[in-house]
Amino acid sequence: MTRLWNEPEDFADEMTDGFVRANARWVRRVAGGVTRSTASQSPTVSLVIGGGSGHYPAFGGLVGHGLAHGAAMGNLFASPSAHQVESVCRASDQGKGILLSYGNYAGDVLHFTEAQDTLRSEGVDCRTVLVTDDIFSAPASQKQKRRGIAGDLTVFKVAGAAASAGYDIDGVERVAILANERTRSMGVAFTGCTLPGASEPLFTVPEGRMAIGLGIHGEPGIDEVDIPSADGLAELFVERLLSQDEIPEGVSADGARVVPILNGLGSVKNEELYIVYDRIADLLGDAGIELLDPQVGEFCTSFDMAGVSLTLLWVDDELEKLWAAPADTPAFRTGSVDGNDLVVRGDIDDSIAEAELPESSDDSRRAAAAVTEALSAVKEIIADNADELGRLDAIAGDGDHGIGMKRGSNAAAAAAQLAFVSGAGVESTLARAADAWSDRAGGTSGAIWGVILRTVGSRLGDTQPVTATAIAEGLVAAKEAVMAFGKAQVGDKTMVDSLVPFADTLAERVSSGESLTDAWSVAADAAQEAADGTTAMMPKLGRARAHGEKAVGVADPGAVSLSLIALTIHEVLQRRSAGS
């Protein structure tokens, strides 16, 4: 278990601060993560990587010459927010375009894509290459749906080397795509990991058994088998990774060149890894494969998870040259870097000026007071239920939903209070709460709640009358925005299953003449009923999708948290109605 921490909610921030102080030769702290402390003499393409914290040396440990220019670092197992990604990109921009690369997880895709769209609107040539190396997360026929695990390293290293070599953005993107297409990984776990402050691991494996196909965020495995010997594990890895479906297109095993990466996920010791690798080397050699620059150690971890993954990068001449190119980062160093080509960077301005509050009406400020009271109540109900939300999420996901919702709602409540006392109208109050929720929570839920609050606020404005009809229309617009943003539909077993009946019922009741409080009561009940109904559903999106039937019989945590929030806000509306 994770033993050393102060406050669990501060763990990621304090870890990042300590990491930067210990590695100032390579990195500097910026809002949202880290950037290089040095720059090349000539402008280059910039590689910005990232994801949730808890995977060291991914992602900050891979920032330095020959690898990444910056890393956006979210909270524990939660993607960084779009604002954080933008901040790291701006601090890391070397003038020749930016390539974003990260594992294929829903929250990361949402936030990084939003940041990419913003940068493109400002004229920056920003592109993305997703890492999809995990063979157990989707079949080969749907490899674009696969998630990224330790194969992150091969894609990042190739792209970073290409940027250092002077490739243009087209070239860096091309070789990153090629590296991803030629990378395959498989992982196993003997125990799950325990987040700071948690009393139980995110998942458990029966004594003497081993989970196959785990995720690096504490997701349980796809299958379980008896724990094999070290040789038996090596044979399992090689058998699966050399299956006909998993050898990259156009490659034959006999005569191929492969970079093998045997990765410890947190608590498996190097000595154990070397025993496994000894047999892996024999088996790959027997298949006619030439092994290049083997890597054995920790490259992408999951806190204290007892687990191992094997990654194979099938190289051609160009990939081999880029893999072997010099790199100098806190956690990955190879070759000899020419320090004469580097200059120490001056002060980095990563500040984001907060816009002045626009003019607001008395009616809008009264609505802002209601929003502030509602978000304070939401903060309390989420805190009371965070453990249960995490338990639901851990059954088929990564177990961080409760933690993320707690971080997000706390930040949103504080931001709303500050905006309100500063004289903000309801739109500005909701907008600042949305940014705070998204930034602090990260992950899919952070992005979605940011969309909800911001969309509702945009429909209410800071100066126009705040009516029940406007609120209902705002929530319908938020529903539509969330579905467009995350691509979820009713029946996919997500929070959309609760959001849609809530918004639609509210709009129907308000249009029929009911008061906001009465309409909200019926809508909140519809949301709760729908959340309960997700229990029987099979997940079709997100991390739970890979675990199929494990999620059947358990309500979706996103739908449950939305229904809790809807019911809580109804209580606030009742109190305010009674006191008016």
Per 3-state DSSP, what percentage of the chain is helix, strand, and coil (rounded to 5)? 50, 15, 35
- What span, in angstroms and rounded, lies between the C-alpha atoms of 258 and 284? 9
What lies within 8 Å, CB to CB, of 535 at 6+ separation is: 552, 553, 554, 555
The β-bridge partners of 211 are 189, 224
What is the identity of the amino acid at 573? Answer: L
- What span, in angstroms and rounded, lies between the C-alpha atoms of 47 and 151? 16
Residue with tokens 């094997």: 310
Query: And the tokens for 475?
Result: 């929530």
Four-point Cα dihedral 59, 61, 67, 72, nearest 10: 40
Active-site pick, 217, 401, 547, 570? 217
Classified as helix, coil or strand, 210 is strand
The β-bridge partners of 550 are none
Torsion sign over Cα 561, 564, 570, 573: negative
Q: For the chain, what is the radius of gyration of the CA atoms?
A: 24
Vertex 160: Cα angle to 38 and 242 (nearest 5): 150
- Answer left, alpha or beta for residue 65, where phi above 0 means left and psi between -120 and 50 means alpha: beta
CA 220, distance to chain mean position in Å, is 17
Quick check: 106 and 135 in contact, CB under 8 A?
no
Between the alpha carbon of residue 234 and those of residues 239, 265, 270, the distances in Å are 8, 16, 15
- What span, in angstroms and rounded, lies between the C-alpha atoms of 187 and 300? 11
Between the alpha carbon of residue 251 and those of residues 181, 247, 387, 490, the distances in Å are 11, 7, 48, 42
Do β-strands 209-212 and 223-226 pair in parallel, antiparallel, or remain unpaired? antiparallel
Between the alpha carbon of residue 68 and those of residues 13, 64, 72, 436, the distances in Å are 20, 6, 11, 27
Alpha helices of 466-534 — where are they, by DSSP H? 468-486, 496-511, 516-533
Is 55 marked active-site?
no
Classified as helix, coil or strand, 493 is coil
Longest CA pairwise span in the chain (Å): 81
Query: And the tokens for 122?
Result: 């400002």
- Which residues are identified as catalytic? 217
